[in-house]
């Protein structure tokens, strides 16, 4: 991506020189033999890592030498991670001083997609955005604006506030991450439970990667400690990952078939009467209907669908149901299939009928381990009305069940669809803060066409993005190391984000940008008249401190952790929903095995198996041409979604996009380890490197999503978003009838492919 | 020698996150390419009874370093106070004899061609800190200390070798034996 800009000012030259200076320190010879730096010249600032999202909260000591952020040290007192950090945390200075940082606001001067920009001032950038949004609001209504959900979620609050003040319900959520689970668990169990790993005797890791997802925040230590304690560990996932090596049992499930496996587990537990009859009797609704329903979901039925033997299904169901307490650590793996809502409901029912719900060592209702705390909600949700919900351009959840936990939401891809089809009305302006629609959602071709057609596109980010070339205005924001707000909070702690270095460019923070834009739009009374301090103070109210008081305690404020309370069924099963009239999530005040809310809205009240658009059992006729199941990984140890591949120390760990492929699958295709291969589906093609290993189902291949960035320092090129690239989104169906969950709009991550040597 | 320091790896607690590798590079500002520390993976078994075992490896700071013996210009030495093997890059002529001699692949070579490798973060130890790899390890798999002390920890095995590596492992779960580790990761 090339950008032409006006001649840099002196300040910019200095900033660039500063960056280059640090880069040369980082990339030139080792300093091992150099004189150790005197401790006095260094500052160690307790703050939070800012390398990933959606939540954060991993404490670091940021080391500053001569005004430069040079590295991190362990901070043993950090509330969540106790001094442990993942690879990303250590590479932060290379990210902060990257040549790809956006340094000042840009306006497009070339055609959309061409990537020609000119430097502009903050004033002009904000004025341009405000003028356009005001004009569109007057002509097309406020709902013509959509804001896309960022990967880092601490500022979702501000986006919701801006949309509400503006009058648009169209917060565009990705439809593949966390909210699908939170929504469906709430409507089945009253809330989303978390595994009580510290007290369990059996841990079932299902569709989750505990090593890559917040490894330093305790999930790795919890897993290892459970193992050392003698807890049984079962891993349900298509590939062998480090947690599988720790497991007693690996269930190598075919991607996207979790609902079928969970239904078969239910069949075994119900027919063999391995359930907790007392809990079922007292606290569940519709168990008798489940008994009838799952008769046909035998392990033999599930075997060809899931690729897991009937014997293993029986063994694992029995082991899970007869080991007490047992818990399920569930991940995003569930949320990438058209049967997503059924898979989540079936898993929730497993937790309930085995009597593990809200028991020590089971699946407990609590505030979780924290991180990414947002304080007082700022979304102005009390202004929502039925008319408001009706205006949603493409609801993420059915209108009758809106708003969800965060607020009203449209599905990310449906916003782009509206631009292309004009149905039910076209969205005219999209703001993309910290998100990249060309790599973050399905149907990249459609997204690109929509971005070309769209009236007005604004990118807000710290770094050049995959779709920045389509932006009318690009807003550069500070990294979390260059700002002193907001704050992080979790159970029993709250701490300011302490600024590490002065901003390297002409920056505001994301938060300041939204406040400034709000004021510029005339929404000043909703945006603290431009005062970030007042904003922070309001957000901090639940903690009883002001921003100033919090900042006076750089290491934060701690309160002793409360002893957990279990079996809170009376309370949790009455939890009011977030819908307009606030009816409880569970109409019967019991676990919704038979879900009348679903039934009332035209969905199956019991979990059903839904085939992906293509699979060996759904479309066997395709197998002669596309014999392998394809899916993608949601997360990795060194990257965050579609970012961080430009960070050299991280790129060294995973230099190329690789396809996990079994040796028996590679050999007849003449594919050797490290060969470049072409992967082709009905919809798209990617070119990636073969990682030939025995730790994957021989009938399945998998790729990490999010590849587009190059890494200049390592000579790694930028990948095209379309043909010739490694964009997993190209590979899947975008048929809205088949590829998306009708209740929660989860998008399929499964298809059939052929693989050949490039 | 007052004492011999070495690394300890509880292999069953290594989850291959590679935080140790990146922490090592970041704290030593290592150039791109050389890897002073590496997580090495080995697959075991056939699908579906397949697993992998891992080892986080760096310089073994051997009691009898092959690299030291091979160096023609005496650029490699052992620190008297802790046995850490260090290289004087002023003296190093970049002949790579050390790389050929080391059975563990510890010596690394970057653009200058001179040898570089793990120095057990002695500058950090001198400042009262732990090696960067040890302090960051999310699984608490990595540790370090005087070899005779870490070798006494539960389940610890000190692999044999002509160069007497200052290194202790606790083999991984799933019944992987210390000998298998020796075979996989410690070529004779």
On whether both A406 and A513 belong to a single domain, the answer is yes
Looking at A81-85, A238-242, A374-378, A627-631, which range is the least confident one?
A: A374-378
CA distance B103 to chain A (A): 23
CA distance A651 to chain B (A): 10
**A244, closest residue in chain B (CA to CA):** B51
pLDDT at position A22: 29
Final residue before a domain boundary, out of A67, A96, A125: A96
On whether both A710 and A674 belong to a single domain, the answer is yes
**B111, closest residue in chain A (CA to CA):** A29
First to last CA, chain B: 26
pLDDT at position A756: 98
pLDDT (mean) for A674-699: 97
CB-based contact A27 B137, cutoff 8 Å: no
> Looking at beta carbons, which residues of chain B come within 8 Å of A250?
48, 50-51
On whether both A160 and A223 belong to a single domain, the answer is no
On whether both A553 and A437 belong to a single domain, the answer is yes
> Looking at beta carbons, which residues of chain A come within 8 Å of B14?
242
> Which SS3 state, helix, strand or coil, does residue A167 take?
coil
A398-422 per-position pLDDT tens digit: 999 999 988 999 999 999 999 999 9
CATH architecture of B5-185: 2-Layer Sandwich (3.30)
On whether both A375 and A496 belong to a single domain, the answer is yes
Final residue before a domain boundary, out of A568, A600, A632: A600
Higher pLDDT, A27 or A311: A311
pLDDT at position A424: 97
A5-48 per-position pLDDT tens digit: 333 333 322 222 223 322 222 222 333 333 444 555 789 999 99
CB-based contact B47 A696, cutoff 8 Å: yes
Task: Residue A443: give its domain's CATH number.
Answer: 3.40.50.740
Q: What is the DSSP letter of A212?
A: T
A468-504 per-position pLDDT tens digit: 999 999 999 999 999 988 888 887 889 999 999 999 9
pLDDT (mean) for A94-105: 96
B73-94 per-position pLDDT tens digit: 999 999 999 999 999 999 999 9
Closest Cα to residue A342, out of A417, A243, A258, A398?
A258
CB B147 within 8 Å of CB B6? yes
> Is residue A713 domain-resident?
yes
On whether both A132 and A248 belong to a single domain, the answer is no
Q: Is the pLDDT reported for residue A218 higher than 80?
A: no
- b/e sequence B76-96, b meaning 16+ C-beta within 10 Å: bebbeebbbbbbebeebeebe
Task: Residue A68: give its domain's CATH number.
Answer: 2.20.25.90
* Domain that includes residue A663, residue range: 620-757
The mean of the pLDDT values for chain B is: 91
- Any CB–CB contact under 8 A between B45 and chain A? yes
Final residue before a domain boundary, out of A96, A123, A142: A96
CB-based contact A250 B12, cutoff 8 Å: no
Q: Which of residues 93-152 of B touch A (CB under 8 A)?
A: 110-112, 116, 119, 123, 126-127, 129-130, 132, 135-140
Q: Is the pLDDT reported for residue B175 higher than 70?
A: no
Please, which contacts does A277-284 make with residues 24 or more away whose CB atoms are closer than 8 Å? A278/A355, A279/A352, A279/A353, A279/A355, A279/A357, A280/A352, A280/A353, A283/A352, A283/A357, A283/A569, A283/A573, A283/A590, A283/A591, A284/A352, A284/A353, A284/A590, A284/A591, A284/A593
A435-480 per-position pLDDT tens digit: 999 998 889 999 999 999 999 999 999 999 999 999 999 999 999 9
- Any CB–CB contact under 8 A between A684 and chain B? no
> Is residue A485 domain-resident?
yes
Q: Is the pLDDT reported for residue A371 higher than 50?
A: no
Q: Is the pLDDT reported for residue A368 higher than 50?
A: no
On whether both A140 and A218 belong to a single domain, the answer is no
A512-568 per-position pLDDT tens digit: 999 999 999 999 999 999 999 999 999 999 899 999 999 999 899 998 877 889 999
Task: Residue A299: give its domain's CATH number.
Answer: 3.40.228.10
CB-based contact B19 A221, cutoff 8 Å: no
Looking at A71-85, A116-130, A150-164, A529-543, which range is the least confident one?
A: A150-164
pLDDT at position A405: 87
Q: Which two tokens stand for residue A372?
A: 């990414």
pLDDT (mean) for A229-257: 93
On whether both A281 and A410 belong to a single domain, the answer is no
> Looking at beta carbons, which residues of chain A come within 8 Å of B35?
652
* Alpha carbons A320 and A318: distance in angstroms, whole number: 5
* Alpha carbons A219 and A200: distance in angstroms, whole number: 14
On whether both A286 and A356 belong to a single domain, the answer is yes
> Which SS3 state, helix, strand or coil, does residue A403 take?
coil
Reported confidence tier of residue B182, pLDDT bands at 50, 70, 90: low
A572-618 per-position pLDDT tens digit: 999 999 999 999 999 999 999 999 999 999 999 999 999 999 999 99
Q: Which residue has the tokens 């990933």?
A: A52
> Looking at beta carbons, which residues of chain A come within 8 Å of B48?
250, 252
Provide, rounded to the nearest whole percent, the portion of chain A with pLDDT above 90: 80
pLDDT (mean) for A634-648: 92
Higher pLDDT, A268 or B169: A268
Q: Which two tokens stand for residue A387?
A: 């008319």
> Looking at beta carbons, which residues of chain A come within 8 Å of B123?
32, 36
CB-based contact B54 A74, cutoff 8 Å: no
Q: Can you give B144-172 as a three-state secondary structure string? A: EEEHHHHCCCCCCECCCCCCCCCEEEECC
On whether both A349 and A317 belong to a single domain, the answer is yes
> Is residue A685 domain-resident?
yes
* Alpha carbons A381 and A529: distance in angstroms, whole number: 20
pLDDT at position A95: 97
CB A362 within 8 Å of CB A231? no
How many CB pairs below 8 Å do chains A and B form together?
A: 161
Higher pLDDT, A121 or B41: A121
Task: Residue A647: give its domain's CATH number.
Answer: 2.40.40.20
Q: Which two tokens stand for residue A256?
A: 């996207």
CB A508 within 8 Å of CB A122? yes
Reported confidence tier of residue B183, pLDDT bands at 50, 70, 90: low
Cis peptide before A480 (omega within 30 of 0): no
Helices in A190-218 by DSSP H: which ranges?
none
* Alpha carbons A150 and A30: distance in angstroms, whole number: 37
On whether both A85 and A115 belong to a single domain, the answer is no
Q: Is the pLDDT reported for residue B140 higher than 80?
A: yes
* Triad B3, B9, B12: Cα angle to 5°: 155
The mean of the pLDDT values for chain A is: 91
pLDDT at position B171: 82
* Number of helical H runs and strand E runs in chain B: 7, 9
On whether both A89 and A157 belong to a single domain, the answer is no
pTM, 2 dp: 0.93
> Looking at beta carbons, which residues of chain B come within 8 Å of A221?
138-140
Q: Best of B14, B17, B127 to disrupt the A interface by mutation (most A CBs within 10 Å)?
A: B17
Domain boundaries, chain B: 5-185
pLDDT at position A12: 29
Q: Best of B38, B42, B47 to disrupt the A interface by mutation (most A CBs within 10 Å)?
A: B47
Q: Which of residues 97-156 of A touch B (CB under 8 A)?
A: none
By Cβ distance, the residue of A32, A250, A649 closest to B26 is: A649
> Looking at beta carbons, which residues of chain A come within 8 Å of B12?
224, 227, 246
Higher pLDDT, A694 or A3: A694
- Phi and psi torsions of A473, nearest 5°: -135, 135
A706-748 per-position pLDDT tens digit: 999 999 999 999 999 998 899 999 999 999 889 999 999 999 9
Closest Cα to residue A216, out of A53, A58, A55?
A58
Provide, rounded to the nearest whole percent, the portion of chain A with pLDDT above 70: 93
Domain count, chain A: 4
pLDDT at position A40: 53
Q: Which of residues 690-729 of A touch B (CB under 8 A)?
A: 693-698, 713-714
pLDDT (mean) for A276-301: 98
């Amino acid at each position: 991506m090339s950008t032409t800009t006006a001649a840099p000012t002196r300040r910019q030259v200095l900033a660039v020189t500063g960056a280059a200076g640090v880069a040369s320190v980082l990339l030139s010879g080792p300093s091992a033999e150099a004189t150790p730096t005197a401790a006095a010249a260094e500052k160690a600032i307790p703050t939070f890592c800012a390398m990933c999202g959606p939540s954060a909260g991993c404490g670091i000591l940021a080391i500053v030498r001569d005004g430069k952020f040079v590295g991190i040290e362990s901070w043993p007192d950090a509330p969540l991670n106790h001094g442990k950090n993942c690879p990303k945390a250590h590479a932060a200075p290379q990210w902060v001083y990257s040549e790809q940082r956006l340094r000042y606001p840009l306006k497009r001067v070339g055609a959309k997609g061409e990537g020609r920009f000119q430097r502009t001032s903050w004033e002009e950038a904000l004025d341009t955005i405000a003028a356009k949004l005001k004009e569109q609001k007057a002509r097309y209504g406020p709902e013509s604006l959509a804001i896309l959900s960022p990967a880092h979620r601490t500022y979702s609050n501000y986006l919701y506030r801006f949309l509400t003040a503006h009058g648009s319900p169209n917060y565009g959520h990705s439809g593949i991450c966390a909210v699908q689970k939170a929504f469906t668990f709430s409507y089945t169990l009253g809330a989303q439970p978390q595994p009580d790993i510290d007290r369990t005797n059996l841990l079932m890791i299902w569709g989750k990667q505990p090593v890559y997802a917040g490894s330093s925040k305790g999930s790795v230590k919890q897993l290892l400690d459970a193992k050392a304690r003698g807890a049984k560990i079962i891993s349900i996932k298509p590939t062998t990952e480090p947690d599988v090596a720790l497991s007693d049992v690996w269930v190598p499930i075919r991607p996207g078939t979790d609902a079928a496996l969970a239904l078969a587990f239910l069949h075994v537990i119900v027919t063999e009467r391995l359930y907790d009859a007392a809990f079922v009797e007292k606290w569940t609704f519709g168990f008798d209907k489940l008994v009838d329903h799952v008769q046909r979901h035998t392990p033999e039925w599930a075997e060809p669908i899931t690729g897991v033997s009937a014997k293993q299904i029986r063994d694992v169901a029995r082991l899970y149901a007869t080991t007490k307490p047992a818990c399920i650590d569930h991940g995003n793996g569930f949320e990438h299939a058209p049967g997503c809502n059924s898979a989540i409901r079936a898993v929730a029912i497993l937790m309930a009928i085995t009597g593990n719900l809200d028991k020590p060592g089971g699946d407990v209702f609590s505030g979780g381990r924290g991180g990414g705390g947002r304080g007082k909600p700022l979304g102005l949700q009390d202004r929502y009305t039925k008319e408001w919900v009706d205006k949603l351009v493409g609801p993420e959840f059915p209108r009758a069940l809106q708003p969800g936990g965060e607020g009203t939401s449209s599905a990310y891809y449906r916003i782009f669809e509206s631009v292309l089809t004009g149905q039910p009305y076209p969205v005219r302006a999209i703001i993309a803060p910290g998100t990249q629609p060309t790599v973050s959602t399905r149907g990249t071709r459609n997204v690109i066409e929509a971005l070309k057609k769209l009236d007005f596109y604004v990118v807000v980010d710290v770094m050049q993005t995959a779709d920045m070339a389509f932006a009318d205005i690009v807003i550069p924001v500070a990294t979390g190391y260059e700002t002193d707000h907001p704050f992080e909070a979790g159970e029993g702690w709250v701490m300011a984000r302490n600024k590490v270095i002065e901003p390297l460019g002409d920056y505001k923070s994301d938060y300041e940008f939204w406040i400034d834009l709000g004021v510029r739009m005339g929404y000043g009374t909703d945006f603290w008249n431009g005062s970030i301090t007042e904003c922070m103070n309001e957000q901090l109210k639940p903690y009883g401190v002001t921003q100033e008081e919090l900042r006076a305690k750089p290491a934060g404020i701690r309160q002793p952790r409360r002893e957990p309370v279990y079996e809170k069924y009376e309370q949790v099963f009455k939890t009011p929903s977030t819908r307009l009239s606030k009816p409880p999530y569970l109409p019967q005040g019991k676990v919704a095995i038979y879900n009348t809310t679903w039934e009332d809205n035209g969905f199956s009240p019991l979990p059903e198996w839904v085939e992906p658009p293509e699979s060996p059992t759904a479309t066997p006729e395709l197998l002669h041409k596309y014999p392998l199941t394809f899916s993608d990984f949601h997360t990795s140890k060194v990257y965050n979604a579609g970012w961080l591949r430009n960070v050299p120390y991280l790129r060294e760990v995973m230099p190329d996009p690789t396809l996990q492929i079994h040796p028996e699958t590679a050999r007849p295709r003449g594919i050797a380890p490290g060969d470049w291969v072409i992967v082709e589906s009905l919809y798209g093609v990617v070119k990636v490197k073969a990682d030939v290993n025995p730790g994957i189902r021989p009938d399945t291949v998998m790729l990490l999503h999010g590849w587009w960035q190059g890494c200049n320092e390592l000579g790694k090129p930028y990948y095209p978003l379309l043909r010739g690239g490694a964009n997993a989104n190209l590979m899947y169906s975008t048929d809205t009838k088949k590829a998306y969950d009708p209740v929660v709009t989860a998008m399929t991550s499964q298809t059939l492919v052929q693989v050949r040597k490039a | 020698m007052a004492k011999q320091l070495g690394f300890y790896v509880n292999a069953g607690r290594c989850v291959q996150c590679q935080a140790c590798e990146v922490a090592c590079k970041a704290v030593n500002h290592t150039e791109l390419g050389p890897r002073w520390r590496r997580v090495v993976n080995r697959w075991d078994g056939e699908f579906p009874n397949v697993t992998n075992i891992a080892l986080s490896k760096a310089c073994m700071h051997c009691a009898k370093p092959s690299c030291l013996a091979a160096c023609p210009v005496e650029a490699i030495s052992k620190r008297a106070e802790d046995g850490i093997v260090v290289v004087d890059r002023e003296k190093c002529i970049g002949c790579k004899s050390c790389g050929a001699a080391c059975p563990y692949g510890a010596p690394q070579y970057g653009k200058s061609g001179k040898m570089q490798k793990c120095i057990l973060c002695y500058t950090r130890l001198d400042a009262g800190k732990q090696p960067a790899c040890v302090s960051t390890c999310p699984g608490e798999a990595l540790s370090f200390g005087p070899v005779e002390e870490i070798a006494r920890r539960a389940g610890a095995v000190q692999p044999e070798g002509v160069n007497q590596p200052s290194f202790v492992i606790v083999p991984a779960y799933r019944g992987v034996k210390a000998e298998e580790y020796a075979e996989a990761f410690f070529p004779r």
